Structure 1
Amino acid sequence: KPDNDSEKAATELLKYVQYVSKEITGSSAEVNAMREEIRSIIRSRGLPHLYVTINPADFHNPLFQIFAGREIDMNKFFDKAAGNAEAFIRAKTVAENPIAAAKGFEYLINGFTNILLGCKRPDKIGIFGKVDSYYGVVEAQGRGSLHCHFFVWLEDGLSPNEVKEKAMQDPVWKQSLF
Structure 2
Amino acid sequence: MYFDKRFQVDQYFLIIAFNQEQIKSSTSGGFLIAERRSFDDITERLLSIDKTTISDLAERLSKGERVQPTNDKETSCFQLLNDLHSGSCTISDVTIYLIGSHVDGSITNKKYMRNEIWSLIAYKGAPSWFITFAPADVQHPICLYYANTKEIFKPDILPKDERAKLIANNPVAGARFVDMMVKLFIKHVLGVNSDHDGLYGNTAAYYVLKISAIE
Tell me the TM-score range normalised by the shorter chain.
0.5 to 0.7
Q: Which has the larger radius of gyration?
A: 2
State the secondary structure of the residue aligned to 1:132: coil
Deviations 1:24-73 (A, max 9, x none): 11211111111111111111111101111232222222221022235775
Deviations 1:76-100 (A, max 9, x none): 63xx6xxxxx111111101111222
State the secondary structure of the residue aligned to 2:131: strand
State the TM-score, normalized to the length of structure 2.
0.51
Q: In structure 2, what is the equivalent of residue 144 of structure 1?
A: none
Sequence identity, in percent? 26
Q: After the TM superposition, which of the residue ranges 27-36 and 5-14 deviates more from structure 2? A: 5-14
Matched, 1:58 2:100: no
Distance 1:111 1:122 in 2: 14
Which of 3, 8, 14 in structure 1 is aligned with 2:84?
14
- Cα distance change on mapping 1:47 and 1:28 into 2, 3 Å: same
Q: In structure 2, what is the equivalent of residue 90 of structure 1?
A: 163
Paired residues, number: 129
The one-letter code sitting in structure 1 at the alignment partner of 2:205 is: S
Deviations 1:131-170 (A, max 9, x none): 111013378xxxxxxxxxxxxxxxxxxxxxxxxxxxxxxx
Mark the runs of 5 or more structure 1 residues left unpaired by the alignment: 81-85, 140-178
Deviation for aligned residue 1:10? 6.9
Which of 180, 183, 187 in structure 2 is aligned with 1:107?
180
State the TM-score, normalized to the length of structure 1.
0.61
Tell me how large the CA RMSD over aligned residues is: 3.0
Distance 1:34 1:119 in 2: 21
Distance 2:210 2:81 in 1: 31
Distance 2:206 2:177 in 1: 21
Distance 1:64 1:43 in 2: 37
Matches within 5 A, 1:83-162: 86-123=159-196, 125-137=197-209
Q: In structure 1, what is the equivalent of residue 119 of structure 2?
A: 40
